[in-house]
Chain A
Amino acid sequence: MEQKWVVFQLEENAYGIDVQSVRSIERVIPITRIPNAASYVKGVINLRGVVTPVIDLRTRLGFESVEETEETRIIIATLEHGDAGFIVDCANEVVEAADVRIEPLADSKQDETNYLTAIAKGEDQLFSLLEPNRLFEEIIHA
């Protein structure tokens, strides 16, 4: 099957994650704070009866955190250890592999972040590919 990515936005930056690992995209719902967890852990939500952890992707990737807006979305991903969500500024579209060219990251960038895997370049767009499992590693604050 042809690869597709869900593309979303953090400030001016676009990121994509494999559509296969996306379970759903939710509007912001009440989040219960989890005490003593890592700073980027926003808390847990009631996702149709399942208690699901949610992280703030802005904080996780070192952006400034902002108030939520109408556009704010929680992307729920199916990961190695269960479902988990991350908050993004907005979710734009689904991009197909045919429309972009995949280029490797510059070596220096690869060392810096282990959650980016490649860059996708299209005619009028550019986004970084994210490996969502990496975002949730070491989520618990020791």
Chain B
Amino acid sequence: MDLNEYLGLFLDESIEHLQAINSSLLIFEQRLDDEAVIDQIFRSAHTLKGMAGTMGYDAIADLTHEMESALDLVRSKTQPATPELIDVLFVAAEQLETMVEDISQGGTGKLDVATTVVRLKQFINMDSEPSQDTDKPAATVMKNFECDVYSESVVRQSMASGYQAYVITVELSADVILKAARVYMVFDRLQNLGDVILSNPTSDELEQEQFETRFDVLFVTMKSADDIQSEVKAVSEVAQVLIQPFEVPVEPAAAATLLEPVETPVINPATDTSNETQTPVAAKTIRVNLERIDRLMNLFEEFIIDRGRLERIAAEAGSSDLTETVERIKRGTNELQSLVLTLRMMPIEQVFNRFPRMVRSVSKDVGKNIKLHITGAETELDRTVIDEIGDPLVHLIRNAVDHGIESKADRILAGKAVEGNLSLRAYHSGNRVFIEIEDDGAGINQERVTKIALEKGLLTEEEAALLTPEEVSMLLFAPGFSTAETVTDLSGRGVGLDVVKSKIESLGGEVFVETKRGEGTIFRISLPLTLSIISAMLVKLGEETYAIPLTAILETTSLKQDAILQAHREKVFDFRGQLVPLISLNQVYGLPHAEADAYSVVVVRSGEKLAGLIVSELIGQQEIVMKPLGSYLEGIRAISGATILGDGQVALIIDSNALLRK
């Protein structure tokens, strides 16, 4: 069997299960007794174990196996969940994620999980140690039944209310064919007479026929041993039924304390599954290979280009029938376009999902108490953006936890609640998506930021004096800027916020900061809804056609030769009272300089910076389909991609952000 074929499926499903584990763990942490959530984690761990086992990823299988064992104890109420357990489960989930990530990168998925396995084992053994102690006095009576503290207590309580407890040993005939079915029938009959507390082997093992011919059942009932005997014997293929009274060991003190969290005496632990209905119902979806969607997109893009051609032909032909038909095609394709584009849209939830856990662990590391509020996780974004936006967000959130929110002591001094708040919001506005990260921390210390920027030589005293508060905040994003006085493991790792900014800009996005001293800071990221089809201005440079994304353009203007000024070897012009540098695109793109009396200028903006781009001719505005230049031409200066024009020719897309950065 070629496992590679299943790798994609394995990865997809593993990621889904890991997400389920992560979100369930967070709920679990809040509500230690939520059985539905424990079940969810258990099931996901179980599925992961099975898949990893099949695929030969032993480390994943080992780790999930121990998770499963530990959770089983909690699930069967053998042992209460402890904060240590939650912690180690979080660690395990993180390691699983690392391994799955490694596999998706073509790695082997190997990671040293021994420590985590040992920690889980410690939890698992914590149970057997005390319970073995308490079992000892009873061991002589029930040699054939291992029983945990919890079940003992259930039995004890049942006996107090007049029930009898028996250990029933059922022996199936040696040639039994339908083992599992017979077990089921025995259990079914027993349930009518009383309650099955435990079985040995466990009911799961019995179901899977993982036993020879004999099994033991711990059973409480009002009926007599004879009644049970005749009832069980009636099941065919049962060879022998042995019924012994179960003698409960002396009540150990430990049992009482362990049981405290259980409110009511539960006679039958199996009945309590009612809250499963609380699990949120996911929207109906089908899994579609991404390649197919991309192919659909490509075909559709081709179609849009042909539509443009057809429109032009129709306009030239002047036939009203043709024009009308083309008009209808246009309306239809417009609708189709928005539909096709939504195929690539995914809720940002899958990026947001990892943050609760991250905030939890990071705030723990820095000794802060931080609550994360997430809204708008259902907001949809283009898949490309989803793939890329994770890292910048991680950075900003770590930054907020580390630097944004004050230490506990400082918060008390400032008269704030000890618990800090971090809000992560996503929402649509117009054709852009906004993501906000807001903290209720100390706000940005503008004086300190300016001081550091001066020390690092990022600007001069004179320049600093002219900065608006917004501009000062944006200094955080300047290359080589890092405010952490003590370099922590978290954010002071040499990669500054400038990386975040350029990443966001490469996605066609922008980032802003809003801050109030003592009240907090908001980092606001604005991103385009879709990347593939954009509005652009087509321009000519000599004989070559280029496209400038409309989002970057402030306006187009015409400039006479004498309006061009010279300032420090740089050409500048006056744009609404502001001196703006002029960039000759011919020069940037290696074309001969063309002297003229007047120039067409496209004024572009990137963040706060403006520039005028000299072009030979403005052709007009058009919807274009952005295409990548491919790996071989990646990194060509000031070109962000290409598009195919109506005549089938390739035009390059000007990266004005890159032009303004230099």
**A97, CB-defined interface residue at 8 Å:** no
> Of residues 63 to 83 in A, which have CB atoms within 8 Å of B's CB atoms?
81-83
Which B residues are in CB contact (< 8 Å) with A41?
Answer: 633
Is B637 an interface position by the 8 A CB rule? Answer: yes
With an 8 Å Cβ cutoff, the count of chain A residues facing the other chain is 24
CB distance from B631 to the nearest CB of A (A): 4
Contact B652 A139 (CB under 8 A): no
CA distance A81 to B627 in the complex (A): 16
What residues of chain B lie closer than 8 Å to A50, measured between beta carbons? 298, 627
Identify which of residues 620-644 in chain B touch chain A, using a CB-to-CB cut-off of 8 Å: 627-639, 642, 644
Please, which residues of chain B bring their CB within 8 A of the CB of A44?
A: 629, 633, 642, 650
* Chain B contacts for A140, CB-based, 8 A: 632-636
For window 23-55 of chain A, which residues contact chain B by CB distance below 8 Å? 30, 32-37, 41, 43-46, 49-53
B648 interfacial by beta-carbon distance below 8 Å:
yes
Best-surrounded residue of B630, B632, B637 (most CB of chain A within 10 A): B632
Instruction: Please judge, given known A-B contacts A34-B639, A36-B637, whether A51 and B631 are in contact too, CB under 8 Å.
Output: no
B629 and A136 within 8 A (CB): no
Known: A30-B649, A46-B644. A51 touches B636 (CB 8 A): no
Q: Which residues of A contact B (CB under 8 A)?
A: 30, 32-37, 41, 43-46, 49-53, 81-84, 136, 139-140
- In the assembled complex, which residues on chain B have CB atoms less than 8 Å from the CB atom of A53? 629-630, 632-633
* Residues of A contacting B591 in the complex (Cβ-Cβ under 8 angstroms): 35
**Across the two chains, which residue of chain B brings its CB closest to A140?**
B635
Given the interface pairs A32-B544, A37-B636, A44-B650, the reply to whether A51 lies near B630 with Cβ below 8 Å is yes
CB within 8 Å for A51 and B639 given contacts A32-B649, A44-B633, A140-B633: no
Q: A2 to B155, alpha carbons, bound, how many Å? A: 76
Beta-carbon contact of B636 and A36 below 8 Å: yes
In whole angstroms, how far apart are the Cα atoms of A60 and B206 in the complex?
72
B253 contacts the other chain (Cβ, under 8 Å)? no
Given A46-B644, A46-B648, A46-B649, answer yes or no on A136-B632 (Cβ-Cβ < 8 Å). yes
- Asked if B589 is at the interface (CB within 8 A of a chain A CB), the reply is yes
CB nearest neighbor in A for B543: A33
| B301 touches A (CB below 8 Å) | yes
B544 and A33 form a contact (CB under 8 A): yes
Contacting residues, chain A, for B301 (C-beta < 8 A): 49
Query: Is A34 within 8 A of B544, CB to CB?
Result: no
A83 to B631, CA, bound (A): 10
Bin chain B's interface residue count: 20 to 34
Q: A32-B650, A32-B651 are in contact. Are A82 and B631 (CB under 8 A)?
A: yes
The 5 closest A-B pairs by CB, nearest first: A81-B631, A35-B589, A32-B650, A51-B642, A51-B627
- Contact A32:B633 (CB < 8 A) given known A46-B650, A50-B627: no
Among the listed A36, A45, A139, which residue makes an inter-chain contact with B632, where contact means beta carbons less than 8 Å apart? A139
Q: Which A residues touch B629, using CB under 8 A?
A: 34, 44, 51, 53
Whole-angstrom distance between the alpha carbons of A43 and B638 in the complex?
Answer: 15
Task: Give the shortest distance, in Å, between B624 (CB) and chain A (any CB).
Answer: 12
CB distance from B115 to the nearest CB of A (A): 39
Give the docked Cα–Cα distance between A51 and B629 (Å).
6
Q: Which residue of B lies closest to A31 (CB)?
A: B650
**Shortest distance from the beta carbon of B339 to any chain A beta carbon, whole Å:** 20
Q: Does B283 contact A (CB under 8 A)?
A: no
Partner of B633, one of A34, A45, A49: A34
A139 cross-chain contacts in B, Cβ below 8 A: 632-633
From A32, which residue of chain B is reached at the shortest CB distance?
Answer: B650
Give Cα A72 to B135, complex, Å.
90
Q: How many A-B residue pairs have CB under 8 A?
A: 76
Tell me how far the C-beta of B422 lies from the nearest C-beta in chain A, rounded to whole angstroms: 40
Q: What CA separation (Å) do A97 and B658 show in the bound complex?
A: 50
- Is A82 a contact partner of B651 (Cβ separation < 8 A)? no
Q: Closest CB of chain A to B588's CB: distance in Å?
A: 7
A49: nearest residue on chain B (CB-CB)?
B302
Q: Is the CB of B588 within 8 A of A35?
A: yes
How far does the alpha carbon of A43 sit from the alpha carbon of B630 in the complex, in Å?
Answer: 12
**B635 nearest in chain A by CB position:** A140
Q: List 12 A-B contacts (CB under 8 A).
A: A34-B639, A35-B588, A35-B636, A35-B637, A43-B650, A44-B633, A46-B649, A49-B298, A81-B631, A139-B633, A140-B632, A140-B635
A36 touches B590 (CB 8 A): yes
- In the assembled complex, the CB of A48 is this many whole angstroms from the nearest CB of chain B, namely 8
Beta-carbon contact of B302 and A51 below 8 Å? no
Contact with A along B191-206 (1 / 0, CB 8 A): 0000000000000000
- Bound form: Cα–Cα A49–B532 in Å: 14
Question: Per a CB cutoff under 8 Å, which of A37, A49, A82, A136 touches B644?
Answer: A49
CA distance A50 to B631 in the complex (A): 13
Q: Which residues of B contact A33 (CB under 8 A)?
A: 544
A28 CB to nearest chain B CB (Å):
14
Tell whether, in the assembled complex, residue B642 and residue A84 are in contact, meaning their CB atoms are under 8 Å apart.
Answer: no
Q: Nearest CB to that of A30 among chain B residues?
A: B649
Chain A nearest Cβ from B643, distance in angstroms: 8
Complex interface: chain B residues within 8 A of A49 (CB)? 298-299, 301-302, 644
Q: In the complex, A16 Cα to B630 Cα: how many Å?
A: 25
Please name all residues of chain A whose beta carbon is closer than 8 Å to the beta carbon of B644 when the two chains form the complex. Answer: 46, 49, 51
Q: Is the CB of A34 within 8 A of B636?
A: yes
In the complex the two chains form, what is the Cα distance from A30 to B649 in whole Å?
7
Q: How far apart are the CA atoms of A33 and B590 in the complex, in Å?
A: 10
Give complex CA distance A33, B648 in Å. Answer: 15
**Which B589-632 residues have a C-beta within 8 angstroms of A?**
589-591, 627-632
B649, A82: Cβ atoms closer than 8 Å: no
B238 smallest CB distance to A (angstroms): 63
Chain A contacts for B302, CB-based, 8 A: 49
Chain A residue contacts of B544, Cβ below 8 A: 32-33
The docked-state distance in angstroms from the alpha carbon of A45 to that of B632 is: 13
Nearest A residue (CB) for B590? A35
Chain A residues with Cβ under 8 A from B631's Cβ? Answer: 81-82
A51 to B634, CA, bound (A): 12
Q: How far is the CB of B658 from chain A (nearest CB, A)?
A: 11
Closest chain A CB from B61 CB (angstroms): 34
A82 to B629, CA, bound (A): 10
* CB-defined contacts of B632 to chain A, threshold 8 Å: 53, 81-82, 84, 136, 139-140
For A83, list chain B residues within 8 Å (CB).
630
Cα A53 to Cα B644 in complex, Å, equals 14
Collect the chain A residues with CB atoms within 8 Å of residue B589's CB: 35-36
- Determine the distance from Cα of A41 to Cα of B639 in the docked complex, in whole angstroms: 15
Nearest Cβ in chain A — how far from B545, in angstroms? 8
On whether the beta carbons of B633 and A37 are closer than 8 Å, the reply is yes
Give the complex CA separation of A52 and B642 in angstroms: 10
Which B residues, 530 to 566, have Cβ-Cβ distances below 8 Å to chain A?
Answer: 544
| Beta-carbon contact of B630 and A34 below 8 Å | no
> Roughly how many angstroms separate A34 CA and B652 CA in the complex, as a whole number?
8
Set of chain B residues within 8 Å of A46, measured between Cβ atoms: 644, 648-650
The complex places the Cα of A49 from the Cα of B634 at a distance, in Å, of: 18
CA distance A45 to B652 in the complex (A): 11
* CA A10 to CA B408, docked complex, whole Å: 75
Contacts of B652 in A (CB 8 A): 32, 34-35
Interface pair B650/A45, CB less than 8 Å apart: yes
**Least distance between B650 CB and chain A CB atoms (Å):** 4
Are B628 and A51 in contact, CB atoms less than 8 angstroms apart? yes
CB distance from A74 to the nearest CB of B (A): 14
Residues of B within 8 A of A45 (CB): 650
